[in-house]
């Protein structure tokens, strides 16, 4: 596998761009092939079998682009499909859960960690099991927050309605006295300032997107797969629907300019 091959990154839609952004910031030499499954978004309320089927199609597509590693930049897809995809592929496959869980387990002082995410991620229990791998005497308080994704996609990042919804979702978590909160959905870093305000400054927010990019860097180094410095590089963006809308959103999030996004028929893969 050539070092200068791109890294595949996929998500149900735009959320995974927060992971792509961290990779671009931390590894400016790397090239990314991003796929957003905008025709079938959201993943959070769909079943395990459905998400495994979707993930397989996307991985098949990304491998046609000769990627050297794949990041599943979606918590739900990581929760449901990471192990299957890993078993079926011979390149490094990285999910967004493990690194975030590790850092959260290290960060907590009182051993009480909150985890927020979609229904799929929360009901899968994946964060709880990873967190308990790192530290035995940890108490995990998971909470599904299904309205955050539509609120983010509506652009209500600092809105009183988002604050009101966050207050409801967090009232239980606050009662448990958590000192650490894992943002278990790739959309949530976009409202981290609002979430911090509601949960309070004494609770540390953990952003798995950031930790995942750090972990990816280590994995690429171990496999001797880091990209060499290059004069020009190009990121590629694909979606299953609504390329223009995606491009607009991507350009508000990413540190680079997205010139083009292509629509593909993912059901063919």
- Min CB(50)–a second copy separation in Å: 5
Q: Is 187 annotated as a binding residue?
A: yes
Cβ proximity to a second copy, 28 vs 150, nearer residue: 150
Is 38 near a second copy (CB under 8 A)?
yes
Contacting a second copy within 150-209 (CB under 8 A): 150-151, 153-154, 160-161, 164-165
**x/- letters, 45..84, toward a second copy (CB under 8 A):** xxx--x----------------------------------
| Alpha-carbon gap, residue 241 to 71, rounded angstroms | 21
- Give the binding-site size for a second copy (rule: CB under 8 A): 23
User: Which of 242, 250, 254, 261 touches a second copy by CB under 8 A?
Assistant: 242
Report which of 186, 163, 171 is spatially closest to residue 37, judged by C-alpha positions: 186
Please indicate whether residue 256 is annotated as part of the active site. no
Cβ–Cβ contacts within 10 Å for residue 244, how many?
Answer: 9
C-alpha 208: how far from chain center: 7
Q: Is 53 annotated as a binding residue?
A: no
In the chain, the N- to C-terminal Cα span, in Å, equals 22
- Which position has the token pair 């606050």? 174
Q: Is 180 annotated as a binding residue?
A: no
Q: Name the DSSP class of 190.
A: G
Please indicate whether residue 185 is annotated as part of the active site. yes
- For 154: left if phi > 0, alpha if psi spans -120 to 50, otherwise beta; the answer is alpha
Q: Which of 20, 182, 183, 185 is catalytic?
A: 185
Cβ–Cβ contacts within 10 Å for residue 125, how many?
Answer: 14
> Angle, to 10 degrees, between the axis of helix 192-199 and the axis of helix 160-175?
50
**x/- letters, 131..150, toward a second copy (CB under 8 A):** ---------------xx--x
| Alpha-carbon gap, residue 157 to 190, rounded angstroms | 7
Q: Is 186 annotated as a binding residue?
A: yes
Annotated binding site for substrate: 11-12, 43-44, 75-76, 186-187
Chain positions contacting a second copy, by CB under 8 A: 38-40, 45-47, 50, 146-147, 150-151, 153-154, 160-161, 164-165, 240-242, 245, 263, 267
């Amino acid at each position: 596998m050539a070092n200068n091959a791109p890294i595949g990154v996929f998500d149900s839609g735009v959320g995974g761009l927060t992971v792509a952004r961290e990779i671009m910031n931390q590894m400016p030499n790397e090239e990314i092939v991003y796929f957003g499954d905008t025709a079938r978004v959201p993943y959070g309320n769909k079943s395990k079998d459905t998400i495994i089927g979707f993930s397989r199609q996307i991985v098949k597509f990304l491998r046609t682009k000769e990627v050297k590693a794949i990041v599943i930049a979606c918590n739900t897809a990581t929760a449901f499909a990471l192990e299957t995809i890993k078993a079926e592929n011979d390149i490094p496959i990285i999910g967004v859960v493990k690194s975030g869980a590790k850092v959260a387990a290290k960060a907590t002082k009182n051993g009480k960690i909150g985890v927020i995410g979609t229904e799929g991620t929360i009901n899968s229990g994946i964060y709880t099991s990873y967190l308990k791998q790192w530290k035995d005497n940890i108490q995990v308080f998971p909470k599904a927050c299904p309205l955050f994704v539509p609120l983010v996609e509506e652009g209500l990042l600092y809105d009183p309605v988002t604050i009101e919804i966050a207050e409801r979702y967090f009232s239980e978590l606050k009662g448990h006295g958590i000192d650490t909160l894992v943002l278990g959905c790739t959309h949530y870093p976009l409202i981290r300032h609002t979430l911090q305000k509601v949960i309070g400054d004494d609770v540390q927010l953990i952003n798995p997107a950031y930790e995942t990019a750090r972990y990816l860097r280590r994995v690429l180094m171990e496999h001797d797969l880091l990209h060499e410095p290059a004069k020009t590089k190009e990121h590629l963006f694909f979606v299953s629907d609504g390329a223009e809308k995606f491009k607009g959103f991507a350009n508000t999030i990413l540190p680079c300019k997205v010139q083009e996004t292509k629509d593909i028929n993912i059901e063919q893969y």
